[in-house]
Protein backbone atom coordinates (compact mmCIF):
# COMPACT_ATOMS: atom_id res chain seq x y z
CA UNK A 1 0.00 0.00 0.00
CA UNK A 2 0.99 3.63 -0.59
CA UNK A 3 -0.41 7.09 0.12
CA UNK A 4 -2.46 8.89 -2.57
CA UNK A 5 -4.65 11.99 -2.24
CA UNK A 6 -8.35 11.06 -2.00
CA UNK A 7 -10.73 13.77 -3.21
CA UNK A 8 -13.59 12.50 -1.00
CA UNK A 9 -11.51 12.28 2.17
CA UNK A 10 -9.67 15.48 1.13
CA UNK A 11 -6.39 14.12 2.45
CA UNK A 12 -3.62 11.63 1.75
CA UNK A 13 -4.86 8.13 2.46
CA UNK A 14 -3.53 4.66 2.05
CA UNK A 15 -4.78 2.90 -1.07
CA UNK A 16 -5.21 -0.73 -2.00
CA UNK A 17 -4.40 -2.05 -5.48
CA UNK A 18 -6.80 -4.62 -6.92
CA UNK A 19 -4.55 -6.22 -9.54
CA UNK A 20 -7.27 -8.48 -10.95
CA UNK A 21 -9.56 -5.54 -11.80
CA UNK A 22 -6.87 -2.89 -12.21
CA UNK A 23 -8.46 -0.61 -9.60
CA UNK A 24 -6.84 1.70 -7.07
CA UNK A 25 -9.14 1.92 -4.00
CA UNK A 26 -9.03 4.29 -1.04
CA UNK A 27 -8.71 2.32 2.20
CA UNK A 28 -10.68 4.94 4.19
CA UNK A 29 -13.86 5.50 2.14
CA UNK A 30 -13.67 2.76 -0.52
CA UNK A 31 -13.69 5.19 -3.46
CA UNK A 32 -12.15 3.87 -6.67
CA UNK A 33 -9.52 6.48 -7.39
CA UNK A 34 -8.26 4.91 -10.62
CA UNK A 35 -9.66 2.12 -12.74
CA UNK A 36 -8.14 -0.17 -15.35
CA UNK A 37 -4.60 0.83 -14.47
CA UNK A 38 -1.72 -0.94 -16.16
CA UNK A 39 0.41 -3.16 -13.95
CA UNK A 40 4.04 -2.40 -14.86
CA UNK A 41 5.58 -4.99 -12.56
CA UNK A 42 7.20 -8.21 -13.83
CA UNK A 43 4.73 -10.59 -15.41
CA UNK A 44 6.32 -13.80 -14.16
CA UNK A 45 4.42 -16.88 -15.13
CA UNK A 46 5.25 -20.57 -14.89
CA UNK A 47 5.60 -22.49 -18.14
CA UNK A 48 6.69 -25.71 -16.45
CA UNK A 49 5.07 -28.95 -17.59
CA UNK A 50 3.93 -29.74 -14.05
CA UNK A 51 1.73 -27.50 -11.94
CA UNK A 52 4.27 -27.42 -9.13
CA UNK A 53 7.21 -26.72 -11.43
CA UNK A 54 9.45 -23.76 -10.80
CA UNK A 55 10.11 -22.22 -14.21
CA UNK A 56 9.39 -18.46 -14.19
CA UNK A 57 10.61 -17.89 -17.75
CA UNK A 58 8.39 -15.64 -19.83
CA UNK A 59 10.59 -14.72 -22.80
CA UNK A 60 13.08 -16.42 -25.07
CA UNK A 61 16.68 -15.59 -25.76
CA UNK A 62 17.90 -12.37 -27.42
CA UNK A 63 17.89 -11.94 -31.19
CA UNK A 64 20.99 -13.42 -32.80
CA UNK A 65 21.68 -11.77 -36.19
CA UNK A 66 24.14 -14.53 -37.09
CA UNK A 67 21.34 -17.12 -37.33
CA UNK A 68 19.00 -17.41 -40.30
CA UNK A 69 15.85 -16.89 -38.20
CA UNK A 70 17.44 -14.57 -35.67
CA UNK A 71 17.34 -17.35 -33.09
CA UNK A 72 13.59 -16.82 -32.64
CA UNK A 73 12.31 -20.01 -34.24
CA UNK A 74 9.63 -22.05 -32.48
CA UNK A 75 10.48 -25.51 -31.20
CA UNK A 76 7.65 -27.91 -30.44
CA UNK A 77 8.62 -29.84 -27.35
CA UNK A 78 7.69 -33.47 -26.86
CA UNK A 79 6.31 -35.00 -23.67
CA UNK A 80 8.55 -34.72 -20.63
CA UNK A 81 7.39 -37.95 -18.96
CA UNK A 82 8.98 -40.14 -21.63
CA UNK A 83 5.70 -41.74 -22.74
CA UNK A 84 5.20 -42.43 -26.43
CA UNK A 85 1.42 -41.94 -26.37
CA UNK A 86 1.72 -38.17 -26.59
CA UNK A 87 4.74 -38.15 -28.90
CA UNK A 88 4.87 -35.67 -31.78
CA UNK A 89 3.53 -36.89 -35.13
CA UNK A 90 6.25 -38.02 -37.51
CA UNK A 91 5.38 -35.27 -40.03
CA UNK A 92 5.77 -32.57 -37.39
CA UNK A 93 9.08 -34.06 -36.23
CA UNK A 94 10.44 -34.13 -39.80
CA UNK A 95 9.32 -30.55 -40.46
CA UNK A 96 10.88 -29.31 -37.24
CA UNK A 97 14.13 -31.14 -38.00
CA UNK A 98 14.35 -29.62 -41.49
CA UNK A 99 13.45 -26.14 -40.26
CA UNK A 100 16.19 -26.04 -37.62
CA UNK A 101 18.92 -27.79 -39.64
CA UNK A 102 20.61 -24.67 -41.15
CA UNK A 103 21.21 -23.14 -37.73
CA UNK A 104 21.89 -26.33 -35.82
CA UNK A 105 25.54 -26.46 -36.88
CA UNK A 106 26.09 -22.79 -35.99
CA UNK A 107 24.47 -23.26 -32.59
CA UNK A 108 26.82 -26.16 -31.87
CA UNK A 109 29.81 -24.06 -32.93
CA UNK A 110 28.69 -21.07 -30.85
CA UNK A 111 28.24 -23.38 -27.87
CA UNK A 112 31.78 -24.74 -28.35
CA UNK A 113 33.15 -21.19 -28.55
CA UNK A 114 31.33 -20.26 -25.32
CA UNK A 115 32.68 -23.30 -23.48
CA UNK A 116 36.24 -22.65 -24.65
CA UNK A 117 35.98 -18.95 -23.79
CA UNK A 118 34.73 -19.78 -20.29
CA UNK A 119 37.74 -22.03 -19.74
CA UNK A 120 40.02 -19.13 -20.68
CA UNK A 121 38.05 -16.58 -18.66
CA UNK A 122 37.20 -14.44 -21.70
CA UNK A 123 34.50 -11.78 -21.67
CA UNK A 124 31.28 -11.84 -23.73
CA UNK A 125 32.53 -9.34 -26.31
CA UNK A 126 35.33 -11.73 -27.31
CA UNK A 127 32.85 -14.62 -27.58
CA UNK A 128 30.59 -12.56 -29.84
CA UNK A 129 33.53 -11.48 -32.00
CA UNK A 130 34.66 -15.10 -32.39
CA UNK A 131 31.11 -16.05 -33.45
CA UNK A 132 31.16 -13.30 -36.09
CA UNK A 133 34.53 -14.42 -37.43
CA UNK A 134 33.39 -18.03 -37.78
CA UNK A 135 30.18 -16.98 -39.55
CA UNK A 136 32.08 -14.77 -42.01
CA UNK A 137 34.53 -17.54 -42.85
CA UNK A 138 31.78 -20.11 -43.33
CA UNK A 139 29.82 -17.75 -45.58
CA UNK A 140 32.83 -17.18 -47.84
CA UNK A 141 34.25 -20.68 -47.90
CA UNK A 142 32.76 -23.94 -46.55
CA UNK A 143 34.72 -25.45 -43.68
CA UNK A 144 33.87 -29.07 -44.38
CA UNK A 145 36.73 -31.46 -43.88
CA UNK A 146 38.59 -29.15 -41.51
CA UNK A 147 39.16 -29.74 -37.82
CA UNK A 148 36.32 -27.76 -36.26
CA UNK A 149 38.04 -27.59 -32.86
CA UNK A 150 41.07 -26.00 -34.51
CA UNK A 151 38.90 -23.52 -36.43
CA UNK A 152 37.00 -22.54 -33.27
CA UNK A 153 40.26 -22.08 -31.38
CA UNK A 154 41.67 -19.95 -34.21
CA UNK A 155 38.54 -17.77 -34.20
CA UNK A 156 38.98 -17.17 -30.47
CA UNK A 157 42.67 -16.35 -30.94
CA UNK A 158 41.88 -13.75 -33.60
CA UNK A 159 38.98 -12.35 -31.56
CA UNK A 160 41.32 -11.84 -28.59
CA UNK A 161 43.74 -9.97 -30.85
CA UNK A 162 40.99 -7.74 -32.21
CA UNK A 163 39.72 -6.89 -28.71
CA UNK A 164 43.28 -6.07 -27.53
CA UNK A 165 43.19 -8.96 -25.05
CA UNK A 166 45.64 -11.33 -26.76
CA UNK A 167 46.21 -14.89 -25.66
CA UNK A 168 49.11 -17.08 -26.69
CA UNK A 169 48.51 -20.05 -28.97
CA UNK A 170 49.57 -22.30 -26.11
CA UNK A 171 46.92 -20.78 -23.84
CA UNK A 172 44.28 -21.29 -26.53
CA UNK A 173 45.50 -24.84 -27.10
CA UNK A 174 45.15 -25.63 -23.39
CA UNK A 175 41.41 -24.97 -23.59
CA UNK A 176 40.72 -27.34 -26.49
CA UNK A 177 41.19 -31.09 -26.50
CA UNK A 178 40.62 -31.94 -30.16
CA UNK A 179 43.32 -29.83 -31.83
CA UNK A 180 47.07 -29.44 -31.61
CA UNK A 181 49.06 -26.23 -31.65
CA UNK A 182 50.08 -26.92 -35.25
CA UNK A 183 46.47 -27.44 -36.37
CA UNK A 184 45.37 -24.22 -34.67
CA UNK A 185 48.18 -22.37 -36.43
CA UNK A 186 47.06 -23.71 -39.81
CA UNK A 187 43.44 -22.77 -39.12
CA UNK A 188 44.55 -19.29 -38.08
CA UNK A 189 46.42 -18.80 -41.35
CA UNK A 190 43.42 -20.13 -43.29
CA UNK A 191 41.09 -17.60 -41.64
CA UNK A 192 43.55 -14.75 -42.09
CA UNK A 193 43.87 -15.61 -45.78
CA UNK A 194 40.12 -15.45 -46.46
CA UNK A 195 39.34 -12.50 -44.19
CA UNK A 196 42.53 -10.52 -44.74
CA UNK A 197 40.71 -7.32 -45.75
CA UNK A 198 38.34 -7.31 -42.77
CA UNK A 199 40.64 -8.72 -40.08
CA UNK A 200 43.95 -7.17 -41.11
CA UNK A 201 42.80 -3.62 -40.46
CA UNK A 202 41.50 -4.43 -36.98
CA UNK A 203 44.43 -6.38 -35.55
CA UNK A 204 47.20 -4.36 -34.01
CA UNK A 205 50.75 -5.25 -33.09
CA UNK A 206 51.28 -7.43 -30.03
CA UNK A 207 53.37 -5.91 -27.25
CA UNK A 208 54.97 -7.59 -24.27
CA UNK A 209 52.83 -5.45 -21.99
CA UNK A 210 49.69 -7.13 -23.35
CA UNK A 211 50.64 -10.34 -21.55
CA UNK A 212 52.52 -8.93 -18.58
CA UNK A 213 49.73 -8.30 -16.06
CA UNK A 214 48.18 -11.73 -16.59
CA UNK A 215 51.53 -13.47 -16.18
CA UNK A 216 52.27 -11.45 -13.04
CA UNK A 217 48.85 -12.38 -11.68
CA UNK A 218 49.57 -16.06 -12.29
CA UNK A 219 52.70 -15.71 -10.16
CA UNK A 220 50.97 -13.70 -7.43
CA UNK A 221 53.42 -10.80 -7.70
CA UNK A 222 53.01 -7.66 -5.59
CA UNK A 223 51.76 -4.38 -7.02
CA UNK A 224 55.16 -2.67 -6.84
CA UNK A 225 56.77 -5.56 -8.69
CA UNK A 226 54.06 -5.44 -11.37
CA UNK A 227 54.53 -1.70 -11.77
CA UNK A 228 58.31 -2.10 -12.10
CA UNK A 229 57.83 -4.86 -14.69
CA UNK A 230 55.47 -2.65 -16.70
CA UNK A 231 57.94 0.24 -16.77
CA UNK A 232 60.76 -2.12 -17.76
CA UNK A 233 58.73 -3.62 -20.60
CA UNK A 234 57.74 -0.19 -21.84
CA UNK A 235 61.37 0.94 -21.99
CA UNK A 236 62.43 -2.31 -23.70
CA UNK A 237 60.24 -1.50 -26.71
CA UNK A 238 62.84 1.06 -27.80
CA UNK A 239 65.47 -1.68 -28.06
CA UNK A 240 66.12 -3.78 -31.15
CA UNK A 241 65.71 -7.27 -29.70
CA UNK A 242 64.67 -10.09 -31.99
CA UNK A 243 62.54 -11.87 -29.45
CA UNK A 244 58.79 -12.45 -29.31
CA UNK A 245 56.79 -10.18 -26.97
CA UNK A 246 55.84 -13.22 -24.88
CA UNK A 247 59.46 -14.21 -24.25
CA UNK A 248 60.41 -10.61 -23.46
CA UNK A 249 57.58 -10.38 -20.92
CA UNK A 250 58.71 -13.64 -19.32
CA UNK A 251 62.33 -12.49 -19.14
CA UNK A 252 61.37 -9.14 -17.59
CA UNK A 253 59.30 -10.92 -14.94
CA UNK A 254 62.29 -13.11 -14.10
CA UNK A 255 64.54 -10.04 -13.78
CA UNK A 256 62.10 -8.19 -11.51
CA UNK A 257 61.66 -11.22 -9.26
CA UNK A 258 65.45 -11.57 -8.92
CA UNK A 259 65.60 -7.97 -7.69
CA UNK A 260 62.82 -8.50 -5.17
CA UNK A 261 62.58 -10.48 -1.94
CA UNK A 262 60.39 -13.15 -3.58
CA UNK A 263 62.81 -14.65 -6.08
CA UNK A 264 61.50 -17.05 -8.74
CA UNK A 265 63.35 -19.63 -10.83
CA UNK A 266 63.25 -20.03 -14.60
CA UNK A 267 61.02 -23.05 -14.07
CA UNK A 268 58.49 -21.01 -12.07
CA UNK A 269 58.33 -18.37 -14.79
CA UNK A 270 58.04 -21.04 -17.47
CA UNK A 271 55.07 -22.71 -15.79
CA UNK A 272 53.24 -19.38 -15.36
CA UNK A 273 53.91 -18.06 -18.88
CA UNK A 274 54.08 -21.33 -20.88
CA UNK A 275 57.40 -20.15 -22.34
CA UNK A 276 60.27 -22.63 -22.50
CA UNK A 277 63.03 -22.15 -19.92
CA UNK A 278 65.67 -21.95 -22.66
CA UNK A 279 63.75 -19.20 -24.43
CA UNK A 280 63.48 -17.18 -21.21
CA UNK A 281 67.23 -17.57 -20.59
CA UNK A 282 68.12 -16.40 -24.10
CA UNK A 283 65.81 -13.39 -23.80
CA UNK A 284 67.34 -12.59 -20.42
CA UNK A 285 70.83 -12.61 -21.95
CA UNK A 286 69.70 -10.22 -24.69
CA UNK A 287 68.21 -7.81 -22.14
CA UNK A 288 71.08 -8.01 -19.63
CA UNK A 289 73.40 -5.39 -21.22
CA UNK A 290 70.56 -2.84 -21.17
CA UNK A 291 69.30 -3.47 -17.63
CA UNK A 292 70.85 -0.36 -15.97
CA UNK A 293 68.61 1.89 -18.07
CA UNK A 294 65.61 -0.44 -18.15
CA UNK A 295 65.08 -1.10 -14.43
CA UNK A 296 63.37 1.83 -12.62
CA UNK A 297 65.65 3.58 -10.15
CA UNK A 298 62.95 3.62 -7.47
CA UNK A 299 62.70 -0.19 -7.55
CA UNK A 300 66.33 -1.33 -7.41
CA UNK A 301 69.75 0.20 -6.84
CA UNK A 302 72.27 0.27 -9.65
CA UNK A 303 74.62 -1.99 -7.67
CA UNK A 304 71.93 -4.63 -7.29
CA UNK A 305 71.26 -4.55 -11.01
CA UNK A 306 74.95 -4.99 -11.81
CA UNK A 307 75.21 -7.90 -9.38
CA UNK A 308 72.68 -9.94 -11.38
CA UNK A 309 74.29 -12.98 -12.94
CA UNK A 310 74.64 -12.95 -16.69
DSSP code string of 83-143: -STTPPPHHHHHHHHHHHHHHHHHHHHHHHHHHHHHHHT--HHHHHHHHHHHHHHHHHS--
Stretch 192-203: mean pLDDT: 66
pLDDT surpassing 80 at residue 57: no
The pLDDT value recorded for residue 230 is 92
- CA distance to 102, 154, 229, 265, 292, per residue, from 304 (Å): 65, 43, 16, 18, 10
Is the distance from CB of 120 to CB of 127 less than 8 angstroms? no
Q: State pLDDT tens for residues 131-149.
A: 998 888 888 776 777 788 8
Q: Which residue has the higher pLDDT, 8 or 90?
A: 8
Q: d(Cα 141, Cα 150) in Å, to the nearest integer?
A: 16
Q: Higher model confidence: residue 233 or residue 52?
A: 233
Q: Look at residue 29 in the predicted model and tell me its pLDDT.
A: 84
Tell me: pLDDT of 254 over 80: yes
pLDDT at 204 over 70: no
> Does 211 score more than 70 pLDDT?
yes
Q: Is 70 exceeded by the pLDDT of residue 12?
A: yes
Least Cα distance to 295 among 285, 305, 303 occurs for: 305
pLDDT at 256: 92
Is the model's pTM score more than 0.75?
Answer: no
Amino acid sequence: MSDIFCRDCNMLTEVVFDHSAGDTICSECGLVLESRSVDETSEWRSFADESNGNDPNRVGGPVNPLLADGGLSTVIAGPSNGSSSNALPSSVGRWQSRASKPDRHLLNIFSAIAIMADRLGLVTTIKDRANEIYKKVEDQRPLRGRNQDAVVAACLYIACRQENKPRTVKEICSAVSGASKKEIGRAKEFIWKHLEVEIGQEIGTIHAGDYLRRFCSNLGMKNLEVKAAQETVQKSEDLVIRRSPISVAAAVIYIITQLSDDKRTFKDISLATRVAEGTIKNSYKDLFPHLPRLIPNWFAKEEDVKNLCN
